[in-house]
Each structure stands twice: as C-alpha cells, then as structure tokens.
Structure 1
C-alpha cells in the first residue's frame, strides 16, 4: 500500500532534480532535491536498523522545524517504526514523561539545549539506546557517553548498513501494513498529562486522500508548484499535515522558517501559495499591521485607513456571498490592489497565497474578514489529532464566517442531541491512546464514533459552528450556560489584547484575566510618551488599564447581560509554556491560570472564593 515514505520514493524517481525542501544555511537558502531527500531518508532508515530499531519501535524527535525532522520521521516510517514529536519548548520534566511513556528507543535532539534535557531525565528513559544530535556546538566536549551519536556519524552508520544490506529498506517497506503505527502525537495536556494518540499508516493515508487528493481544502488540489512555509511545531498534527504529508503526497515545496521570530521575514522571502496558521499567528500579523500604521507618517496613515476601509467593505460583501466576489467588489479590489493591497500583501508575505487557513483553536471572525478584505483567501477549518485533522473545512466559494465549514468527503459527523457534543467517524479516526485503554474507551464508541469534546451546532444545515470545548463551558451560579471562547475571541480581536481568560463557573457574574499585546501596546504607549521598563510595568499603568477597559466596554455592548464582563485584571506577565501556563500549542491551561492567579480572581469577586 501507499504511505508517505513510498510517495517520497516515487517523487524521487519521477522528478529527482525538483526541489522538495529548502532551509536557511548561514543566511542562504539551501535546496534539497527529491533525490537528495529520499537518499537521506534511506540513510536514516538504515541507521535505525543498525541501532536495532524494529517494526513497532518508537523514535523521538526533539527539534525545531528543519529538513532533518522530516528525514528522521520518514526514515522511521521506512523501517515501520513510529515517530514521536517532542516540542522544542518542552521542559526537561515533560521530555522525561514523553520518553518514558512512549518507550522511545532513539532520540534525535537538535542541539545542546535538547541534549541537556535528555541527559537530565535519562533515568526515565530505560529503553533509550542512542541520542543523535544535529548541532555539535557545545556537545562534543560536554558529555562522555556512548549514548551520543553525531548526525554525520548517524548517516555514516546508515551508509555502512546499506552497503552490507542493500535491500533491507525495500524489504521492510514491502511488509508495511495499514494498521502499522505511523506516529504518536501527544495531546496538549490542558486537563492532565499528555496522551499519545496512535495514528496508523491507514489514518495518514486517509487524511492524504481527503485533504490532498480530493482537494477538500484547496481548489485545485495542491501540487508541485505550491510552496509552504513550515514554522509551527511539527509535533502538532496540523503542521504535519501541511509540511510533511502535503509534501509527500502532492510534491509541494516546503520552506523551513529560521525560527518563530523570523516568520514575518521568511514569509516575505518565500511568498508561499498555501499558508496555515493558528489564530495566534493571524492575530499577531494583524496586530503588526496596526503597529506599522501607527508609526507611519500622517499621509501614509490617511491613505492606509482609506484603503483598509474599502477592504472592510469588500470583506463584508465577501462574507455575505460565501467568499465570492461581486462585480463591484472585484472592481474595488482591482483598483485597491494597484494602490495599496499588493504592497501590503507583499510585506505580509501573502502576495501569492491562493489558500490560507486557520485552525486548531477558535478565531474571531473579524480577523478572518480583515484578511479576506485585503485579498487573502481565508478559510477556517476544523480537525483534531484524534481524527488526523480530518473533520470539516470551509470550501472556496462556500464560506460561512463563524463556522468551521462543511463535513469532509467520507466523514460522518453528528451532534449529540442532549449534550451538543460533536462526534465524527471516518477512516482517519485514530487507533486509540497509547497504553491508555480506559481513555480510549471514553474517546471512542464501540461502533467507531469519536467524542471530540467540542460543542457545536449546525448552521444552514450544511456548516458546523463550534461553540466551545465541553470542559470549558461556564455554568454561572444562576444556572446559565456560557461559552467563554466566544467572549475571549471578541476581546482578542483587538490588536492590543493577546490573551483573555474568562472566569465565572459557579459565580454570580463573569470576570476576566487579560494579557496585553506587548508590541502594539508598547507602540501606543511610546506615542503618548508613557515610559515603561517591563511588561509588568506597562500593564500596571493606569492609561493602559483605561485602554483595555474601553475594549472590554465595547465588547460588553454587544453581549447579553449575563455574558458581560463585570470586572477584569491585567496579567502581570506574558503567559509561557515553560511556566506551565500554556500548552506547547499556545492554548491556555485554565486550571493552571486559576491557581496561579487565585488571589487576583478572589479579589475580583470581592474576596469570595465562590
């Protein structure tokens, strides 16, 4: 049967000199052809075999996005082993948990920081036989351990094994089964320890057939002329879809961002044709536009405000027509493209984007409408690790803003009449949680329906709207059910607000903890000659509190009385994954926030704990 790794082999045979991957090397883009990519995948596979990796074993990858990530992932699949992605920001304790829970036999660690974490928790990884490091700086003279193997020596080991066993990879690949474990993707762990979702070769192939070959996202489907930018963690299913599996299935060219900080610059350099982002990315890009405008000359601000006003009108019309232009909006955009939109999109790195998507968390419709108005074809999509990201998506020309779109071909979706929970069933539904039989039974019904944990409703009988996570629904002291994410998204639509956590479960009224966007609020403060030294100092200023109060009041004006925020406090720090406040995918850990800022929450309720 086909698999991502067999597809890479076929691309290497059909177009060996075409570019498959690109990354920055000493500031210059370096190209990896399909022939080179496949060669390195084979060497990695042979090296795994030489280290004793057998079908069913697990290989962990702890690195930022780079070609070696995909090579190690596909090399593992070539020998019927499963990859385990570890987020680069995972602290040592979480690394130890993941290595222990997965029983990883080999760890590929990017640099000294990741190697240090591994050595700090070696006692929790009894199955580990080798740690392969990609960057040698600071490692060679730091540790004297037989566990360590450099990337160059790892590849050489693969060459030696191939010379002795030239047909080994082909023979192992020939025995691949649909039920083989392809990867363990660990859940974000917002309510407890992460669980390893088992995605099989069959699951991945189903996702490829629906999302790539059947064009459930793009029209026409992705192909070799498409470019993507890889920057979100590859340990997450969404980035795996757009970077690894789109590339393997359709032959798209993957360009690796240098870091999350350089994404804006890398977007401008690459000008991708397909672009995926979580809401935080789209919100950050929109905030960046606001920041640049505030610092421009009065003439540029006036011109920009005029054309952004036109874009707002275009966006409104597109929303009303499912994303389809009318004659008038097409004419307005054509004129605006010459005078403003082309330059703006070029600066954003979106001049060539033919398909853009937001997913993995709710997003404010206003953010999507902004990008639609300036000519970026935005689509909100929905999926999760447990269904290999195959659930729903807004299709070109059939967009319903505020929904996550239509059910994908071959997927069944129903909404429980009593609880409102969304359930899905398809060939992409995962095999269960690794060594978690009880959790698997709770997630999957005997007849294969997946409990998503999301509450939703039908819109016009065709599109699905996500209301909230079941565990996040707030039930006030008065018995009212409230969706906090809807209110939070309205607040975060402001370029001045980065985080918003609505509180009120079991309480008489709602309150919120709000985190400011340092860049935009900092720029705002500088224009008003408000000096500040730190995030804490800036967020404590009365003028900033007043700024946020105005935003809260504006949002409250459009809410029902029971949904309004009666009090708020600004967070004194930016939320951080390493401090246990965010998951690796930047989702807020509500329980951790409530505990960490318990005194502040109690104060907002007049000293009452409940």
Structure 2
C-alpha cells in the first residue's frame, strides 16, 4: 500500500508534474470548460487560506451543501489541507434535517450552493450555535441578503489571497503535518431506521480506499489513469460517489466532468462518453426502461430490428454469464450480428459506447438488468461496500463475473460471515474510526477484534463469491415462520420497465403483498399508445388498464419464486415517493416503517381478503 500522503498532497503532485493537463470539466453556456491541475491546486490553496482566515483549524468541521461542481472539490481538498474535517450535506435535505446535521457535527463554516440552500440554513441557523459563517457559491438572489453570517465565495477567495500574502507557509505547513489518524470526513448514514449518524473516516481509511481503487487489481482493470473520463452526477456527500469522483481523480488523474443536473444525465452521458461509469441500480434501471420505451414507440421496421436485437442480446448474455462475463464463440457471433443492427446505436444513445468499466453499487440490482446490459456489450461490475468500511468489501472482477453475487473480496481485505447469523463482517484498514459522538453505536458495529458488522445477511456461492441476501432488519418472517428476503422480490418486480418502486410487506403476516409505484415515463408512453387518457400521476396509476398492466408484471415476477415468496396482492401508490415527504432517504432508500404508517390503509386493505 502507498503511504498515507492524503488527497491534498496528491493534488499538489499532479499540479507539479502535469500542470497544464485537464483535471476537471464543467459546462458553461453549453460549452465544456476545462480546468487544469495547476488551476485546481491554486483554487484549493486559496480556499484553504480563506478557511484559515475564518478561524478554521485542526479538527474543525466544515460543511458543504451543494450539487456536484468544481467548488465542491476545491472546498473538500482545502478543508483537508488544513487538517479540518469535511461534512457533506444532501441538497435534497429539508431544513430540519440540515439543522440536525449542523448541530450534530458542530460545523463552524458551511458552503452553500445557492439561494435555495442558503434559505434552508437561514431558517435554522439560530438553532445551530456552532455555525459562524455561511459561504454561498451562487450570488443570484442572495447578494442582497443582509445577514452577519453570510459571505460570498468571491469575498472568501479575496480573504484567502490576503491571508496567503501574510501567512505564506500556513497551508503547506499544515499539509506537511497531516497524520494518517487525522479525521478526514464525516459521512452521514441514510437514516432508514433512525436519525443519521456521522461515520468518521480517517486519512488512513481514505488512502486505503484510494490505493485499492487505482491499483488495477480490483474493480477497475487495467488501472484507471489520465486518459479515463468520468461523469460526476450522484451526490458527493455519499461515500461511493466521493470515492469514484474525488478520490479516484486525486489518485489516478482521471478527468472529471460535472453533469449539469440529474435531469440532464442522459444528455451529458451522450456528450461526454465516459470510459468509467458508476451508477446506482435506479440509474441502470432507468436507462433500461428508456430503451424499452423507445423500442415500443418506434416504427414497425425499427421494432422488428429491436426484437431481433433483443433475442441476440439475450443469447449473448446467457453465454457470457455462464463464462465469467467473457465471450464465447456463440456470443461473439451474436455480437457481430447485433452490434451493427442494434447494439452500437443503443450504446451511442445511452452514452456508453466508450465505457470500459461500468459499475453498480450502493443497493441491490436485478440480475435481469445486468443481463440486459451484458447482452448489448456493457458488462456491469457490482461493488459491495458501505460508508463504514470506506466502500470496500467485494466486487465482481474481470473474467470472474457471477451474476446474482457481489463478487469476491479484494486483495488484502478480510470478509467472513458470522457463524450464527450469517451477517457479513469485514476487517481492513478501511474500517471506519466510529460514529461521531455515538460510542454505543460504534461498539455495536465495530467489535474488539476489529470486525465491522455490516448488518447485511450473506451467503457464499461457489466458495468465494458473496451473495447479499438482505439487510438483517429487513428480513421478513411470515406467520408461517418462513424467512423471506424482500429485496430479491422487489428487484425482480422493478425489472419491469413499468415499475419504479416496489415495497414488499408480510412480516408476521399470512402471505406477501406489495405497494407498487409506476415508472411514470414508461407507463405514460404505454397509455398514450393505447389511447388511455390521464391527467396526473395519481390518475394514471389508478386506471384499471394500468393496474392490469402492473398485475401482469407481478405475475411475471412471481414465476421466479416459490409460492410462499410470491406476491398475493398489491396496491398502487398514488404518488411518487419523495425524500421531502419522509418516504425515502436522501439516497432513495425506502423508509419501510414510514411507508407502513403512511399507507397503513392500503396495507390493511390487502389483508382483509379482498382481491387485487
């Protein structure tokens, strides 16, 4: 392993060795603007001096409440440069959640992106006694605010330049004094079962993760480098995106492109054509659903070509899946026929033509989705990890793919199953320091022997491949005593292009039921083609024809399971699940207990003996 130099030192090295090479790109007025390593390092240095001028020192917490943009990286690396601690906030967090996190971590400075985020903070800042400064990136709508804690990013940079002129060695001395055990960041958990907890990651933890990510012997092979291109669009406060964007950029020099927004990701992918792509299952499902929508609404000739391409893709996927992800003679023939017919066009339109490594993580993904992309020539490698182990546990490897598993442990990582509960345990230098101000929670998660208790139930497949059964707390035990993994059933349901959300119910119940939310774009396209008129999401999901459409998808999913694991009844959700309504976490994980309360009437209805 490389020594724990830290991310700031890595950025400085890039600036010294390749100052004029592009490190980052952002879109401005429709044009991608390049930012060199020298410019990156200069901005980091100025921001670091500006934080020092604001009184930030070793161990102080500094928050970032912003969408992905270069300033996120400047602030993060600057915070680390003076041995302070970065705390990321989700921009979707409502004001009460922002207040909770500010109070819990005791942040002294918060970088806020724009008026929307500033307004949230100002609504609660009187309840945040440690907060001294609110630095805003975007002046629009905020520049005329009169508040003693508000300061513009431009003014902060000016203060940084002044501080550097009077204290030229302050930042370099702090960077040189950095220690492996320094606290680098607090990453807050999603809070599916209670208030979010701040997971403490040290410089040692981060460096351990960086070393594995860029080694070429784990997830990405050959090793990533300056010729690789990535698109950053998932929240940077999430450990997986932080690792893929900031840590990988600093470690290997990959070029980061910042998506304009989540809504433009499809267009941004097509423009950027990344070579490395990380996405959560919801994104991969959305891309697959988009293909299904386009195929269904195409001309008869294109529909016929698509049908032929789909059969070739299915054959190709079956062959490659049985061969560790590698081609066979049959799959090569299928690809040779399907590529000019359909596959090349799909890869181009999805922005995946140049992808050499596609990764899925942060949640379980349906094997059907993996097979779809494998069939059209985009093998997706699953990575399994969590905030508390610096996103390091297992991954699918080149030539050793096994669908339905999350792969094998990376070299140098210990992974085992608890002999009594089959809980997945990990032990390595990426295991976190503990939870911020939560010694009891830390002791319950990280035992005396250094094993991290992940809370996931696993099983070994063929000796070395790990399959995640489900979260321990989510396992359903039916009234008949049968243990059921809801996520496996939910993923099978969501393999349908018409289903966006599926929540399986049945703990201590006589049979399984489900709450189902439609994939609005796909179902609205289907409704339009079938002459079904609707007005809103609620109206569309309530249409008898749509209920029947979903019913057929449920029947298809049920065919994959034993009778005790099948969905006997379902009810349609009449609204899209939303973070602000308390139904989802910021990472779009379902809050099952919240849904059980909110939709209790629908659930009770399914257990009153009524039909679908």
TM over 0.5: yes
- Which of 8, 29, 33 aligns to 1:30? It is 33
Q: Spell out the pairing of 1:373-452 with structure 2 (5 A cutoff).
A: 373-452=375-454
Q: CA RMSD in A?
A: 1.0
Deviation (angstroms), 1:326: 1.2
Q: Which residue of the partner structure matches residue 205 of structure 1?
A: 207
Contact 2:425 2:452 in 1 (8 A): yes
CA distance in 2, matches of 1:558, 1:433: 40
Contact 1:211 1:390 in 2 (8 A): no
Q: Given the alignment of the two structures, is residue 119 of structure 1 paired with residue 122 of structure 2, yes or no?
A: yes
How many residue pairs end up in the alignment? 607
CA-to-aligned-CA distance 1:5-29 (integer Å, 9 cap, x gap): 1101000001111110001112211
Higher alpha-carbon deviation: 80-89 or 326-335: 326-335
CA distance in 2, matches of 1:227, 1:530: 43
Contact 2:63 2:86 in 1 (8 A): yes
Q: Spell out the pairing of 1:300-339 with structure 2 (5 A cutoff).
A: 300-339=302-341
Contact 2:216 2:224 in 1 (8 A): no
CA distance in 2, matches of 1:604, 1:343: 44
Q: Which runs of 5+ in 2 are unaligned?
A: none
Deviation (angstroms), 1:371: 0.5
Q: Which residue of the partner structure matches residue 163 of structure 1?
A: 165
Higher alpha-carbon deviation: 335-344 or 101-110: 335-344
Contact 1:353 1:377 in 2 (8 A): no
Q: Spell out the pairing of 1:105-254 with structure 2 (5 A cutoff).
A: 105-141=108-144, 143-254=145-256
Q: Spell out the pairing of 1:6-85 with structure 2 (5 A cutoff).
A: 6-85=9-88
2:206 aligned counterpart, secondary structure: helix
CA distance in 1, matches of 2:330, 2:547: 42
Deviation (angstroms), 1:214: 4.5
2:91 aligned counterpart, secondary structure: coil
CA distance in 1, matches of 2:116, 2:273: 31
TM-score if structure 2 supplies the norm length? 0.98
Contact 2:475 2:483 in 1 (8 A): yes
Contact 1:311 1:374 in 2 (8 A): yes
CA distance in 1, matches of 2:379, 2:22: 26
Deviation (angstroms), 1:186: 0.1
Compared CA separation, residues 321 and 568, structure 1 to 2 (3 A):
same
Q: Spell out the pairing of 1:276-355 with structure 2 (5 A cutoff).
A: 276-355=278-357
Higher alpha-carbon deviation: 257-266 or 375-384: 375-384
Q: Which residue of the partner structure matches residue 267 of structure 1?
A: 269
CA-to-aligned-CA distance 1:153-172 (integer Å, 9 cap, x gap): 11111111111111111100
CA distance in 2, matches of 1:99, 1:334: 55
CA distance in 1, matches of 2:587, 2:10: 29
Q: Which residue of the partner structure matches residue 551 of structure 1?
A: 553
Q: Which runs of 5+ in 1 are unaligned?
A: none
CA distance in 1, matches of 2:310, 2:123: 52
Deviation (angstroms), 1:337: 1.9
CA distance in 2, matches of 1:138, 1:554: 51
CA distance in 2, matches of 1:455, 1:540: 36
1:213 aligned counterpart, secondary structure: coil
- Which of 506, 509, 519 aligns to 2:508? It is 506
Q: Which residue of the partner structure matches residue 98 of structure 2?
A: 95
TM-score if structure 1 supplies the norm length? 0.99
CA-to-aligned-CA distance 1:426-456 (integer Å, 9 cap, x gap): 0000000000000000001101100000000
Q: Given the alignment of the two structures, is residue 497 of structure 1 paired with residue 482 of structure 2, yes or no?
A: no
Contact 1:539 1:570 in 2 (8 A): yes
CA distance in 2, matches of 1:171, 1:66: 28
Contact 2:82 2:171 in 1 (8 A): yes
Compared CA separation, residues 341 and 607, structure 1 to 2 (3 A):
closer
Contact 2:493 2:502 in 1 (8 A): yes
Contact 2:370 2:379 in 1 (8 A): no
Contact 1:97 1:124 in 2 (8 A): no
Contact 1:16 1:34 in 2 (8 A): yes
Q: Which residue of the partner structure matches residue 367 of structure 2?
A: 365
Contact 1:99 1:124 in 2 (8 A): no
Higher alpha-carbon deviation: 143-152 or 515-524: 143-152
Q: Which residue of the partner structure matches residue 463 of structure 1?
A: 465
CA-to-aligned-CA distance 1:305-353 (integer Å, 9 cap, x gap): 1112101110111100010101231233133222321121010000000
CA distance in 2, matches of 1:551, 1:41: 51
Deviation (angstroms), 1:607: 8.1
